[in-house]
Amino acid sequence: MVDAADLVVQGRGKFEELMVCSHEIAASTAQLVAASKVKADKDSLNLAQLQQASRGVNQATANVVASTISGKSQIEETDNMDFSSMTLTQIKRQEMDSQITLSLVRVLELENELQKERQKLGELRKKHYELAGVAEGWEEAFKNQKRGQGAGPLLTRISSKEIVQSSGVRENEKGGNQGL
């Protein structure tokens, strides 16, 4: 986030990137709290402190996003063109150039870029869910469910040895995931 903010201040970054970084930090913090709630005792002092810190992080990221939006709108206001010295013909020509060529081309470029990024995000999420399912032992449950056997993904687990055999990873390369 600091790098994104530096780039924005230098005029080489985008405000949207800064906002996305802020949202990612808030989301990561929420994931940490959720995981901690599962693992920790509900009366844990450390959990309470983590939740309080999470609220602070959320407030700070909300402030960053609000400041970014405010700064972006101030800069956009100063970038507006002064048309007071232009003739009617010049204004009309400028309008046509903007509407027909530059703006429409840019919109199409952005739409194509957005579509590619959505596809990339979809593929990343798909791969993440596949890997998370294998790590959690859902692989066999999904296979059985497709065949009409078994009770479903939450009730069937595969052993860590089956994961090791199917992934080709040796026992000492698992990195301490002994609790599968």
**Contact indicator for 1, 22 with CB cutoff of 8 Å:** yes
Q: Ranked by mean pLDDT, which of 74-78, 120-124, 163-167, 170-174 comes out on top?
A: 120-124
Q: State how far the Cα of 123 lies from the Cα of 117, in Å rounded to an integer.
A: 10
**Contact indicator for 104, 41 with CB cutoff of 8 Å:** no
Could you tell me the two tokens for 35?
Answer: 């995981």
State pTM to two decimals: 0.44
Radius of gyration of the chain (CA): 26
**Which amino acid is present at 173?**
E
Neighbours of 139 (CB within 10 A): 19
Residue pLDDT, tens place only, 36-93: 888 888 788 998 899 999 999 989 988 888 888 888 877 776 656 667 788 889 888 8
**Contact indicator for 163, 134 with CB cutoff of 8 Å:** yes
| Complete DSSP assignment for 126-153 | HHHHHHHHHHHT-HHHHHHHHHT-SS-T
Which of the four pLDDT bands, split at 50, 70 and 90, describes residue 15? confident
| Alpha-carbon torsion angle 159, 163, 164, 166, nearest 10 | 130
> Shortest CA distance to 166 belongs to which of 137, 129, 127, 123?
137
Lowest mean pLDDT: which of 5-9, 55-59, 109-113?
5-9
Average pLDDT on 16-40 reads: 87
Which of the four pLDDT bands, split at 50, 70 and 90, describes residue 164? very low
Task: Please give the biggest Cα pair distance in the chain.
Answer: 78
Res 102: pLDDT: 65
